[in-house]
């Protein structure tokens, strides 16, 4: 694989990691990193995981300072759950194309078209959208959230149309779906799966339900065109658990390439291949060691959420955490 999962040259990374460790001790801070961050960011973090895991860790932590190495909505979620803490994001421009695909005004208008519907928002949304939602979810617990809602209810699912389509097919529920997408996952097309399946027929295929190939993958599985024993539609954390437990030695991973670092680190004897080397989130990769150092040193880029808005959003987030 030619694409690097690192950003900073090793010698410079070592120096910056030492500075960050000293500042972290001085500030009594913890560092949370998403699975899609650069390898050197994951290596120095106190916690590495998905959005739900990051939110849970932030809520449990007694540290007064949280450095969220991820995108902006993740820092917002930590600020909502831990309003008494200083929540920092190393680069405030680290946004999310999926979260940007719907705003609170659009959601209110959609709700008005479907009175009585239950709103389920994927965690990749702004605090304003969460405040208009009944539930939040991640890809890991989305199906549990849907199944927890009374069967006679119409569900408005937003903003990821691929995850929404997957959930509708899996549960058979009456789900209206917002036409949003993550620009990274949407770029994973059926042709990529077919190309890698032909090249690596013996590999396990791990596919994220956000991906643009998920609907066709489900069709191929149903018709027998893909081997169901070797194809798995899983959340990011599900992929990591599967890779550790599976006897397979080779895996093709259809999600953002940053997760390969954690998989390789946990399973050094196994081979992990990206579905395509281009599947990288430019927003996640805006977080660098230098920016983490600067944020801790200067306590810059603090993320806060207005208390009334945070209280409304917290209900949906707490339901997500509970499930």
- The predicted-structure confidence for 84-93, as pLDDT tens digits, reads as follows 999 999 999 9
Question: Which residues is 34 bridged to in the sheet?
Answer: 49
Higher pLDDT, residue 67 or 55: 67
Higher pLDDT, residue 254 or 4: 254
pLDDT reported for residue 293? 98
Domain count, the chain: 3
pLDDT at 285 over 80: yes
| pTM of the shown model | 0.92
**Count of CB atoms situated within 10 Å of the CB of 246:** 15
Structural element, H or E, at residue 56: helix 51-60
User: Tokens 């694409």 belong to which residue?
Assistant: 3
Work out the burial of residue 229: count CB atoms within 10 Å of its CB; fewer than 13 is exposed, 13-18 middle, 19 or more buried.
Answer: exposed
Structural element, H or E, at residue 13: helix 10-27
CA distance linking residue 274 with residue 259, whole number of Å: 10
pLDDT at 108 over 70: yes
**Count of CB atoms situated within 10 Å of the CB of 198:** 8
In a domain, 108, yes or no: yes
In a domain, 314, yes or no: no
Token pair listed for 83? 């309003």
Structural element, H or E, at residue 298: helix 289-298
Smallest CA-to-CA distance from 271 within 196, 214, 180, 211 is with 196
- Per-residue pLDDT, averaged over 71-86, amounts to 94
Give one DSSP letter per residue of 252-274, joined into a string.
EEES-TTHHHHHHHH-TTSEEEE
Residues 14-31: tens digit of each pLDDT: 999 999 999 999 999 999
Q: Given 166, 182, 198, which residue is the final one in a domain?
A: 182
Q: How confident is the model at residue 284 (pLDDT cuts 50, 70, 90)?
A: very high
Q: Given 149, 182, 215, which residue is the final one in a domain?
A: 182
pLDDT reported for residue 1? 44
Residue ranges with strand state E in 159-241: 175-177, 204-207, 231-233
Token pair listed for 241? 């658990």
- Per-residue pLDDT, averaged over 232-252, amounts to 95
Q: Given 182, 211, 243, which residue is the final one in a domain?
A: 182
In a domain, 60, yes or no: yes
Q: Give yes or no: residues 178 and 241 share one domain.
A: no
User: Tokens 């599947």 belong to which residue?
Assistant: 279
Q: Give yes or no: residues 76 and 140 share one domain.
A: no
65-69 and 47-49 beta bridge pairing: unpaired
In a domain, 289, yes or no: yes
In a domain, 311, yes or no: no
pLDDT reported for residue 3? 64
Residues 138-160: tens digit of each pLDDT: 888 899 999 999 999 999 999 99
Token pair listed for 276? 């395509």
| C-alpha 97 chain-centroid distance | 12
Q: Give yes or no: residues 90 and 105 share one domain.
A: no
Residue 202: give its domain's CATH number. 3.40.50.10800
pLDDT reported for residue 224? 77
Query: Is the torsion defined by CA of 193, 198, 199, 204 positive or negative?
Result: positive
Token pair listed for 211? 């991906």
Q: Give yes or no: residues 270 and 295 share one domain.
A: no
In a domain, 152, yes or no: yes
Token pair listed for 151? 């069967």
Q: Give yes or no: residues 253 and 234 share one domain.
A: yes
Q: Give yes or no: residues 63 and 41 share one domain.
A: yes
Smallest CA-to-CA distance from 7 within 96, 100, 108, 91 is with 91
- Per-residue pLDDT, averaged over 108-112, amounts to 98
pLDDT reported for residue 323? 73
pLDDT at 2 over 60: no
- Per-residue pLDDT, averaged over 226-251, amounts to 92
Across the chain, mean pLDDT equals 93
Smallest CA-to-CA distance from 110 within 185, 180, 184, 169 is with 180
Q: In which domain, by residue range, is 112 found? A: 99-182
Q: Give yes or no: residues 151 and 167 share one domain.
A: yes
Smallest CA-to-CA distance from 293 within 5, 11, 13, 36 is with 13
Token pair listed for 129? 């959208």
To the nearest whole percent, how much of the chain has pLDDT over 70? 99
In a domain, 121, yes or no: yes
End-to-end CA distance of the chain: 37
Higher pLDDT, residue 156 or 319: 156
Q: Give yes or no: residues 252 and 205 share one domain.
A: yes
Q: Give yes or no: residues 60 and 78 share one domain.
A: yes
Higher pLDDT, residue 4 or 98: 98
DSSP assignment letter at 302: B
Higher pLDDT, residue 178 or 228: 178
In a domain, 2, yes or no: no
Q: Give yes or no: residues 158 and 202 share one domain.
A: no
Work out the burial of residue 216: count CB atoms within 10 Å of its CB; fewer than 13 is exposed, 13-18 middle, 19 or more buried.
Answer: middle
Residues 183-197: tens digit of each pLDDT: 999 999 888 988 998
């Amino acid at each position: 694989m030619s694409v690097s999962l690192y950003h900073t040259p090793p010698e410079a990374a070592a120096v910056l990691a030492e500075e960050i460790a000293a500042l972290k001790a001085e500030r009594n801070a913890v560092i949370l990193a998403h699975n899609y961050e650069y390898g050197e960011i994951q290596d120095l973090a106190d916690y590495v995981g998905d959005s739900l895991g990051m939110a849970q860790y932030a809520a449990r932590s007694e540290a007064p300072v949280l450095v969220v190495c991820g995108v902006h909505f993740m820092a917002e979620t930590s600020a909502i759950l831990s309003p008494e803490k200083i929540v920092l994001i190393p680069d405030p421009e680290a946004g999310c194309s999926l979260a940007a695909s719907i705003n609170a005004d659009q959601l209110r208008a959609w709700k008005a078209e479907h009175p009585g519907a239950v709103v389920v928002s994927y965690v990749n949304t702004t605090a304003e959208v969460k405040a208009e939602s009944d539930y939040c979810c991640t890809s890991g617990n989305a199906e549990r959230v849907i199944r927890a809602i009374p069967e006679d209810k119409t569900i408005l699912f937003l903003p990821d149309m691929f995850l929404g389509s997957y959930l509708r097919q899996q549960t058979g529920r009456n789900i209206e779906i917002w036409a949003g997408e993550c620009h990274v996952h949407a770029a994973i097309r059926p042709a990529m799966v077919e190309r890698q399946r032909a090249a690596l027929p013996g590999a396990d295929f791990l596919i994220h339900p956000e991906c643009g190939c998920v609907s066709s993958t489900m069709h191929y599985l149903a018709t027998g065109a893909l081997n169901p024993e070797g194809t798995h539609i899983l959340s990011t954390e599900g992929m990591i658990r599967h890779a550790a437990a599976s006897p397979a030695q080779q895996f093709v991973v259809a999600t953002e390439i940053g997760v390969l670092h954690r998989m390789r680190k946990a399973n050094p004897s196994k081979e992990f291949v990206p579905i395509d080397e281009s599947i990288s989130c430019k927003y996640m990769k805006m977080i660098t060691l230098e920016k983490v150092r600067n944020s801790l040193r200067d306590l810059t880029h603090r993320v806060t959420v207005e208390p009334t808005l945070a209280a409304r959003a917290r209900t949906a987030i707490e339901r997500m955490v509970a499930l």
